[in-house]
C-alpha cells in the first residue's frame, strides 16, 4: 500500500513538472521621439502543438510595459504543428498603435524583439486543414464581429438608398427618384417641410462709442429687404441712416450710434417658406391704459417668444429692459408703464420651429473689439472699456474676454487690472524688463451675477490662473474696464494693444 502511494505521488509530481519549455522575450521599447513606451501588449494565438508535443490551446494574454521594459515568456512556435505565430497588438494612450507578428524560437537565454519579429512578406503558415471547414467559434472574435454587422432587411434592394429599419436591418428607401429621404427613413418631395427661418431681436456686434459706424450681423439677411433695424426703438431706413453690405451695417455719420444706444435687428435667413408660419400684425394688447396698470394681454402666445415686437407710441420696446413676456402676458417695468393716451401695438409669429429663434440672441456675437489707449502715468487709469448693453446677457450665456498689453521702455515696472463692473477680476504686477503681456477671462452668466475665471502671462510674467464670483447686475448693462499704470512715471508707456469681448449663447 505504501509503495503504491509513493508511486502515485511520483506520477503526479512528474505530471506537474511536465510543462512546455518557455522562451523569455526581454527588451526595452522606445517611441520615435526617444521617450520610453508605456502601454499594453495584447498577445493572441491559435491552438498548436509545441515541439515537445505539448498541446497549446487557443488563448490570449496581455503584458504591461512600464517605462519601456518588456518581459514575457512564451512557448516557442518554431517547430510547432501546425507552424504558428503570435499576433501582437501594441496599445498606448488609450488606443491601438500598431500590430506585428512574432515567431518565437527555442532559447535558454532571453531573446530580443528583433529575434522574434516576422516581416509580413516572409510570413508563411501552412494550411494543414486539408480543405476541411473551420467553425466560426474557433476564430477568435469572429462570432461577435458577425453579430455586430448590419444585416439585410426584408425591403432590401440593390441600387437604392439604404435606411435602417426598426430591427436594425438594412432596407431600401421607397418613393420616387426625385424624392428626398428624411432622417426617420421616410421619403417625400424635396423641400416639402422647409420654411422660412428667422433671426429675432439680434444685437449687431460692434463698439458703440460714438465713433464706430460699422456693425456686423450674425447671419446674412435673405432677402436683404427683410431686415428691420432699430436704434433706441426707432426704425432706421436703409440708404438714409445706414447701408447694408452682406452682414455688414455701415451707418452714415449723422446716424452713428452713441454710447448707451441700443441696436436691435429682425430679419429672415431664407425665402418666403411654404406657409407653415402664421403671423399676428398690429395686435392691440388688452389692458387698462391708466398710467398705473403694467399688465397687458396679447390675443395669442407668440411662438417663438423672441418674434414679439412691441411698439409704444411707435417706439420699439425692448424685452428685459422695458417689459417681460410670459405666454400671452406682458408686464411693463415701472419706468415704461403705458400712460393714458398711449398706443400699444404688437407683431409676432404663432408658429415656427427654427432653431435660430429658440432664444433672443442665438449666435455668438463680438460685443466689442479694437485697440485701446496708452499711459505713462503712475496712477491706475482706464486703457479701454467695453459696455455690454442691457438685456443682451441671459443666464446660461458665457462672455469671453481677451486682451494684449505692450510695454515700451525698460525703466519702470507696470501693473494692470480687469474690472467686471465693480468687481476686480484680476490684478497683476510685471517687471520693467517684460515687454508683452496677454490675458484671457471667462464669465459664466448666472441667474444673478456671474462666475469668473482668469489667466494671464507675459514674456517674463509667470503664468497664473484664478476663479471667483461677481454679484454685479447685468440686466441694466455692464462695463468691462481694462486698467493699467506704471510703477513710476519715468518715460515708459503701457498700451492696450488689442482687446475682444465675445458673447456665447
What mean pLDDT is predicted for residues 475-490?
Answer: 90
Q: What's the pLDDT score for residue 141?
A: 73
CB atoms within 10 A of CB 211: 11
Rounded distance, CA 57 to CA 46, Å?
A: 7
What mean pLDDT is predicted for residues 355-376?
Answer: 67
CB atoms within 10 A of CB 197: 19
Lowest mean pLDDT among 6-10, 57-61, 480-484: 6-10
What mean pLDDT is predicted for residues 360-369?
Answer: 65
Fold classification of 279-357 (topology level): Immunoglobulin-like (2.60.40)
**Does the fold of domain 365-504 match that of domain 279-357?**
no
C-alpha dist (Å) from residue 236 to 229, 244, 252, 256: 6, 12, 11, 11
Lowest mean pLDDT among 232-241, 467-476, 480-489: 232-241
Lowest mean pLDDT among 246-250, 264-268, 388-392, 421-425: 388-392
* DSSP-assigned letters across all residues of 198-221: EEEEE--BS--SSS--EEE-SS--
For residue range 209-246, what is the model confidence (pLDDT) as tens digits? 999 999 999 888 887 877 888 888 888 888 888 999 99
Is pLDDT at 274 greater than 50 in this prediction? no
Return the higher-pLDDT residue of 97 and 438: 438
What mean pLDDT is predicted for residues 174-191?
Answer: 71
Rounded distance, CA 176 to CA 161, Å?
A: 12
Helix (H, G, I), strand (E, B) or coil at 114: helix
Query: 365-504: which CATH number, 2.60.120, 2.60.420, 1.10.3470, 1.25.40?
Result: 2.60.120
Q: Using 50, 70 and 90 to split pLDDT, how confident is the model at 172?
A: confident
Domain residue limits, the chain: 16-118, 149-174, 198-268, 279-357, 365-504
CB 468 within 8 A of CB 452: yes
The 8-class DSSP code of residue 281 comes to E
The 8-class DSSP code of residue 257 comes to P
CB 469 within 8 A of CB 451: yes
Q: Using 50, 70 and 90 to split pLDDT, how confident is the model at 282?
A: low
Q: Show contacts of 174-183: CB within 8 Å, 24+ apart.
A: none
Is pLDDT at 341 greater than 90 in this prediction? no
Q: What's the pLDDT score for residue 137?
A: 64
Is pLDDT at 355 greater than 70 in this prediction? no
Is pLDDT at 300 greater than 70 in this prediction? yes
Q: Look up the CATH number of domain 16-118.
A: 2.60.40
Q: Show contacts of 284-290: CB within 8 Å, 24+ apart.
A: 284/343, 284/344, 284/345, 284/346, 285/310, 285/330, 285/344, 285/346, 287/330, 289/338, 289/339, 289/340, 289/341, 289/342, 289/344, 290/340
Maximum distance among all Cα pairs of the chain, rounded to whole angstroms? 123
What mean pLDDT is predicted for residues 340-363?
Answer: 63
For the chain, give the mean pLDDT. Answer: 83
Q: What's the pLDDT score for residue 65?
A: 93
* DSSP-assigned letters across all residues of 475-495: TT-EEEEEEEEESS-SS-EEE
Q: What's the pLDDT score for residue 214?
A: 94
Helix (H, G, I), strand (E, B) or coil at 255: helix
- How large a percentage of the chain has pLDDT more than 70? 85
Is pLDDT at 305 greater than 70 in this prediction? yes
Lowest mean pLDDT among 194-208, 319-333, 475-489: 194-208
For residue range 442-453, what is the model confidence (pLDDT) as tens digits? 999 998 899 999
What mean pLDDT is predicted for residues 290-315?
Answer: 86
Strands 329-332 and 263-268: unpaired
Helix (H, G, I), strand (E, B) or coil at 5: helix
Is pLDDT at 183 greater than 90 in this prediction? no
Q: What's the pLDDT score for residue 112?
A: 94
Q: What's the pLDDT score for residue 4?
A: 52
- Of 233, 397, 243, 241, whose CA–CA distance to 322 is shortest? 233
Q: What's the pLDDT score for residue 429?
A: 95
For residue range 2-31, what is the model confidence (pLDDT) as tens digits? 455 544 444 444 444 568 899 999 999 998
C-alpha cell at 75: 512557448
Rounded distance, CA 288 to CA 295, Å?
A: 8
Amino acid at each position: 500500500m505504501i509503495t503504491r502511494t509513493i508511486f502515485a505521488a511520483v506520477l503526479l509530481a512528474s505530471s506537474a513538472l511536465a510543462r512546455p519549455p518557455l522562451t523569455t522575450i526581454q527588451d526595452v521599447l522606445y517611441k520615435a521621439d526617444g521617450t520610453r513606451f508605456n502601454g499594453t501588449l495584447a498577445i493572441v494565438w491559435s491552438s498548436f502543438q509545441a515541439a515537445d508535443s505539448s498541446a497549446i490551446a487557443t488563448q490570449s494574454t496581455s503584458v504591461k510595459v512600464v517605462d519601456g521594459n518588456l518581459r514575457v515568456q512564451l512557448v516557442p512556435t518554431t517547430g510547432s504543428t501546425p507552424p504558428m505565430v503570435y499576433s501582437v497588438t501594441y496599445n498606448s494612450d488609450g488606443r491601438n498603435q500598431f500590430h506585428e507578428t512574432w515567431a518565437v524560437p527555442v532559447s535558454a537565454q532571453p531573446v530580443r524583439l528583433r529575434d522574434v519579429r516576422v516581416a509580413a512578406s516572409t510570413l508563411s503558415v501552412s494550411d494543414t486543414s486539408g480543405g476541411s471547414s473551420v467553425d466560426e467559434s474557433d476564430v477568435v472574435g469572429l462570432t461577435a464581429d458577425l453579430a455586430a454587422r448590419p444585416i439585410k432587411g426584408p425591403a432590401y434592394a440593390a441600387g437604392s438608398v439604404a435606411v435602417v429599419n426598426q430591427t436594425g436591418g438594412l432596407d431600401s428607401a421607397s418613393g420616387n427618384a426625385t424624392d428626398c429621404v428624411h432622417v426617420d427613413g421616410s421619403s417625400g418631395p424635396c423641400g416639402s417641410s422647409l420654411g422660412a427661418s428667422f433671426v429675432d431681436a439680434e444685437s449687431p456686434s460692434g463698439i458703440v462709442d460714438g465713433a464706430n459706424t460699422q456693425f456686423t450681423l450674425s447671419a446674412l439677411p435673405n432677402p436683404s429687404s427683410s431686415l428691420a433695424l432699430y436704434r433706441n426703438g426707432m426704425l432706421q431706413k436703409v440708404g438714409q441712416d445706414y447701408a447694408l453690405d452682406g452682414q455688414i451695417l455701415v451707418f452714415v455719420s449723422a446716424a452713428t450710434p452713441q454710447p448707451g444706444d441700443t441696436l436691435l435687428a429682425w430679419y429672415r435667413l431664407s425665402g418666403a417658406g411654404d406657409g407653415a408660419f402664421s403671423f399676428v400684425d398690429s395686435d392691440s394688447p388688452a389692458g387698462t391704459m391708466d398710467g398705473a396698470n403694467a399688465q397687458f394681454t396679447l390675443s395669442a402666445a407668440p411662438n417663438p417668444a423672441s418674434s414679439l415686437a412691441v411698439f409704444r407710441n411707435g417706439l420699439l420696446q425692448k424685452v428685459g429692459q422695458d417689459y417681460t413676456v410670459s405666454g400671452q402676458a406682458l408686464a411693463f417695468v415701472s419706468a415704461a408703464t403705458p400712460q393714458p393716451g398711449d398706443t400699444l401695438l404688437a407683431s409676432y409669429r404663432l408658429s415656427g420651429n427654427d432653431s435660430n429663434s429658440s432664444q433672443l440672441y442665438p449666435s455668438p456675437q463680438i460685443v466689442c473689439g479694437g485697440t485701446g489707449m496708452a499711459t505713462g502715468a503712475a496712477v491706475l487709469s482706464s486703457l479701454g472699456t467695453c459696455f455690454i448693453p442691457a438685456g443682451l446677457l441671459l443666464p446660461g450665456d458665457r462672455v469671453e474676454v481677451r486682451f494684449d498689453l505692450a510695454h515700451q521702455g525698460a525703466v519702470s515696472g507696470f501693473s494692470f487690472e480687469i474690472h467686471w463692473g465693480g468687481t476686480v477680476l484680476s490684478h497683476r504686477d510685471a517687471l520693467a524688463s517684460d515687454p508683452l503681456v496677454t490675458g484671457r477671462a471667462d464669465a459664466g452668466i448666472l441667474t444673478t451675477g456671474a462666475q469668473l475665471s482668469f489667466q494671464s502671462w507675459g514674456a517674463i510674467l509667470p503664468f497664473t490662473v484664478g476663479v471667483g464670483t461677481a454679484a454685479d447686475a447685468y440686466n441694466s448693462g455692464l462695463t468691462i474696464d481694462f486698467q493699467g499704470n506704471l510703477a513710476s512715471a519715468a518715460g515708459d508707456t503701457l498700451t492696450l494693444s488689442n482687446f475682444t469681448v465675445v458673447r456665447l449663447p
